[in-house]
Amino acid sequence: MSNPSLLILPGDGIGPEVMAEVTKIIDWYGTKGGLKFDVSTDLVGGCAYDKHGVPLADETMAKAQEVDAVLLGAVGGPKYDNLDFSVKPERGLLRLRKEMDLYANLRPAQCFDALADFSSLKKDVVAGLDIMIVRELTSGVYFGEPRGIFEEGNERVGINTQRYTESEIDRVARSAFELARKRNNKVCSMEKANVMESGILWREVVQKVHDEDYPDVELTHMYADAGAMQLTRWPKQFDVIVTDNLFGDLLSDLAAMLTGSLGMLPSASLGAPMANGRPKALYEPVHGSAPDIAGQGKANPIACILSFAMALRYSFDQGAEADRLEKAVEKVLADGLRTADLLGEEGVQPVSTSEMGDAIVAALDASL
């Protein structure tokens, strides 16, 4: 039986630095953890444009379609700001999501006890927080037609179209319900059914999927603006939140900052099952390429490492090993090790990007 395959796309900025620490974790599993992966590496984003003139080469796209999972670092940087929109680094990531049909974006917001003081909210509000936002990723206002900037009379008008089909809503709702069954069995669906027809359809389809196939899961509905308010008031009332592309973009970033640092947050983008039963999948940290600190050893690799933990859980059916890796991260933080984004407390030990990776590997050793 062949080893599971993993395509690594470090990308731009701090991407290669944080991905180097993930490679240490992958190597540890291969030598000590009993999990060997067939790993290949390629280019995406600005570095791909520098070499190929496009942010994602066709050959790389073909590889992504064939492997069991893709792990991406970050894309973009000021060097590429003046490129034509069609070849900006971010278009490489969007192409991966679109052509792999990665319709369900999983964004956990988990607050480790050691970092509860870093949240802008009170400690008792965020300590122990563990919620999951499921964002529809391949439709909605970011993809709907017509779109563009047009002349209308004596002025220009910008148009974007919010568009959802029943089947698009149905499949992301099912992803949320399946996920909830493995967690605390609660889903809150968020839209704007009070002012948007697409929101009315969203609510109707989510309710239908629930009633027909997931009646055991507790389902509530909430307007997205009220959801944003409730996330900052008492976020622990939620377990799984499912929402559309635009609201998911906004709400997941809001939830991210409840935990104190974007450098801590992973994500998974999942699609339909492949022939082997595994979903097509792309895993990436929530943070950007942070070109201002690239090459300085200041980047926090934990979000990228936790993205690999999500790959262990959702692509490779290694839930126990995902738990092991997450607990190793938790131990290192509890021991007081902090990268530059997490400094500010008394009694903590500043560490570089590579030192944080080494410490997590040492914690994995100690877990055996």
Catalytic residue among 50, 101, 170, 253: 253
Q: How many residues does the chain have?
A: 368
Q: Is 38 annotated as contributing to ligand binding? A: no
Q: Is 63 annotated as contributing to ligand binding? A: no
- Closest by CA position to 361, among listed 33, 3, 7: 33
Active site residue 327: no
Question: What is the Cα gyration radius of the chain?
Answer: 20
Active site residue 186: no
Catalytic residue among 36, 130, 142, 358: 142
Q: Is 16 annotated as contributing to ligand binding? A: no
Catalytic residue among 29, 42, 68, 192: 192
Instruction: Please name the residue that has the structure tokens 């507790």.
Output: 218
Q: Is 299 annotated as contributing to ligand binding? A: yes
Active site residue 192: yes
Active site residue 113: no
- One-letter amino acid at 123 equals K
Catalytic residue among 50, 130, 170, 225: 225
Q: Is 84 annotated as contributing to ligand binding? A: yes
Q: Is 40 annotated as contributing to ligand binding? A: no
Q: Is 320 annotated as contributing to ligand binding? A: no
| E strand intervals along the chain | 5-11, 38-41, 69-74, 104-110, 130-136, 144-152, 155-161, 186-191, 218-223, 240-243, 266-273, 279-285, 337-338, 349-350
| Distance, CA of 80 to CA of 147 (rounded, Å) | 24
Q: Is 88 annotated as contributing to ligand binding? A: yes
Q: Is 85 annotated as contributing to ligand binding? A: yes
Torsion of CA 8, 9, 15, 19, to 10 degrees: 10
Residue 125: how many CA atoms within 13 Å on its side-chain side?
17
Q: Is 260 annotated as contributing to ligand binding? A: no
Q: Is 211 annotated as contributing to ligand binding? A: no
Q: Is 82 annotated as contributing to ligand binding? A: yes
Active site residue 323: no
Catalytic residue among 249, 283, 314, 341: 249
Going by the annotation, the residues of the binding site are 77-90, 97, 107, 135, 225, 249, 253, 288-300
Catalogue the active-site residues. Answer: 142, 192, 225, 249, 253
Going by the annotation, the residues of the binding site for Mg(2+) are 225, 249, 253
Going by the annotation, the residues of the binding site for substrate are 97, 107, 135, 225
Going by the annotation, the residues of the binding site for NAD(+) are 77-90, 288-300
